Every structure is written in C-alpha cells, then in structure tokens.
Amino acid sequence: MDASTAITSLQLSFDQITASSGEAALHYLEYQPQLAPLALLGIDSGGNDAFAGALELDHPIPAPPAASKVTAPWCLTLLSPAANLMQVRSVAEFIAAQGASIEAVDTLSRQRDCTVLRFQVRGELNFDETRCACLALAEEIGADLVLQAGDSQRPPSLAGFDMDSTLIDAEVIDELAKITGIGDQVAAITEAAMRGELDFRQSFKKRMRLLKGFPETELARIAPQLPLKPGAERLLRALRAMGCKTAILSGGFTYFANYLKSERLPIDVVHANELEFAAGVLTGEVIEPIVDGARKRSLLEEMAEESGLPLSRVVAVGDGANDIPMLSLGALGIAIHPKPKVRQVAPQSIDRFGLDAALYLFGLNDSQIAGLLGSD
C-alpha cells in the first residue's frame, strides 16, 4: 500500500467524528459504547488533521471475524462505493433529525469499492416515512441507505427471487422477440409492464401473441447466453451454505428458470410460466395460471406455510412492478436495481451494488461471507 492510500487509525469519541468538518476517504468505523466509550476510525492518511487530540494507533484495526450482535430496534445500513466522513456525518445528522439515537456502528465490509457501515438505531420511527427520507438522502450522498427492523438482521430460511432483470441481466421474452424481428415492440411493452404502467397479465398475453411462430429449437441456444446478474452466484451459494431454501418466482418461463436451476445457480424450486408449442413453434397462447404479481406472493406464502416457517424468516428479491406484492410479504423485500416505482414502495432497495450486497442485510460481514463461500 503506497503513502497515498495508507490508513490512519484513530481512537476518539463518536461526537468528535460527527462534529468534525474534515474530509477523508473512510475505511472503517467501529463504535460499541457498551463495550468501549471511544470509536475506532480508519481513514486515508492526511484526514487525521481534522481530529486534533485523537489517539493515533500504530496499525489498522483488524476486521472482526463476525458482525456484532444487533440489540437496537432498527438498523440503517450505509453501502457506499466510495465511503467518506461526509457520508457518516450526513447519516448521523439524519438519525438525530428523526428523534432517534445511534446505539452502535460497525463495519460489515472494508472493500475499496464497497464500504458497508451498519448503524444500530434506537427510536420511535415511522418505517415508511423514514424509508422514503432515506432514499432522498441516499441520492444526495451517493450511496445506498437501507432501513430495516433490527430483528430482521439474520439469515433467512426461505428466499424467493424474480428471474428476469434480477437473477439474470436480461428479459427473456425480449430476447425471444429479437430473434423474430420484433424486439423493440415487445421490449416497449415489457418495460411499461415492469414500470407498473400496464397490467402484467394483459401485457403478457399480448406479448405471447406477438411471439406466435417462434421456433422451439431456439430455446436451447438462448439459455446459455443469458448473463447472470452481478453477485447472483455468490448470493445463492451463500444462502445454500446457510441452509436457506431458495425459489425462482418468475413471470418469465420455466424452460429458462429450470436451466438456471440445473446449470448455473443453486436454486431449489421453480415457479414460472409454461411455453405452449405445437408443431415445433409457439402457439401464441398462454397456459394458466399465469405467474403474475399476486401469484408470486401466494406461492411464496404457500411455501413458507408448507415448510412451517413464519413470514419473519422469509425474504423476497425482485426489481419490477409485478414483484411488489411479494416484496411486502416477509421480513425483507429487497429491490435490486429497481424500476422507479418499485424503488419508491419496496421495503428495502439496493441500487449501486450487485445481488450479493443483500448478504449484509442478513447481519453478515465480509469474514462471515468468506467463510460461507470457502475459497471464493
């Protein structure tokens, strides 16, 4: 590590950090007042000039093997691609403005392109109002801010995933349409449906009619080419290692969901739409029941009931308007790179990172994640 990126480790009060006006890139922040009255701060060398009288430590504080126990009723997680002291001050001021207090702060990730700070917060918060305010602050400071109940910071037992634009970085129905020369026409309908501007069932039927005559032989060529969403494999592998059951709940097609399950990702269950072929081509008709937003939610709820799980052990992950019903079902409803309408209503939202960033919302730090993934 050269001098320009050397870390200065300081021991000082949390009030000194929030009252300072200095700027510096942030590597970590550990503040556990029930264990020690002073905070531990890791910043780029040179930033310590703003903290006169702070004790400078001889070496960086090692990352803890496990995240600290959550004892507060709320957690507010800052996920930043370029963390700095300004972001910490902004979050601290925001929490104070809600009439709440910071009970602890710990660093879940110290990666140079992903610093994750978890603020444990105590106070009477209106979840929806505070969540919306978090979205506005996140835009202002260039980070993701995720609010959740403190007791939801634990690994789930059941996780339901949308497929298109969530687990894969594509909309399969649009890929089929490109081959038949109507890609733009179908993509426009898909985009409007995902934004919540069109009824999903009606838009699905319309798109299937447009795809009438699509050759069945093309499916096997398309499936291997569908790109995974960044972080999808890491997240699903970690969930499998934790013993969490996973399901694809997709308004897309079973052929591609089953391909993902058998060839690409550790998925346990698939629920999606069936393609109807006759004489080797799509008929343009749909096979009921269509997996729309309401059915996604009911399927996830049924799986929880069949497994004897309370909804507090269930999470859902998606990006489009037809994911909104299931996102509001369990302990967490995580929208990944969501459409604007979805971002405004989803309980949790991650915009700047891949799917594996969800692991930090389960109360894990990088050391624990590495342990789950082995040599990865």
Catalytic site positions: 162, 164
Which residue, among 115, 120, 108, has the nearest Cα to 149 in the 3D structure? 120
Q: Cβ atoms within 10 A of the Cβ of 286, count?
A: 17
CA distances from 101 to 34, 181, 211, 368 (A): 14, 57, 56, 27
CA distances from 198 to 94, 192, 193, 319 (A): 36, 6, 5, 16
CB 106 within 8 A of CB 117: yes
Query: What SS3 state is found at 52?
Result: coil
Helix axes 200-210, 183-194, angle to 10 degrees: 170
**Torsional sign, CA 240, 78, 330, 232:** negative
Query: Tokens 């995933």 belong to which residue?
Result: 161
Q: Is 179 exposed, middle or buried (0-12, 13-18, 19+ CB in 10 A)?
A: middle
Cα separation, 327 vs 146, in Å, equals 14
CA distances from 28 to 11, 58, 112, 117, 317 (A): 12, 16, 11, 8, 28
Greatest CA separation found in the chain? 80
- Residue 279 structure tokens: 């004489």
- Residue 208 structure tokens: 């299937």
Q: Cβ atoms within 10 A of the Cβ of 124, count?
A: 9
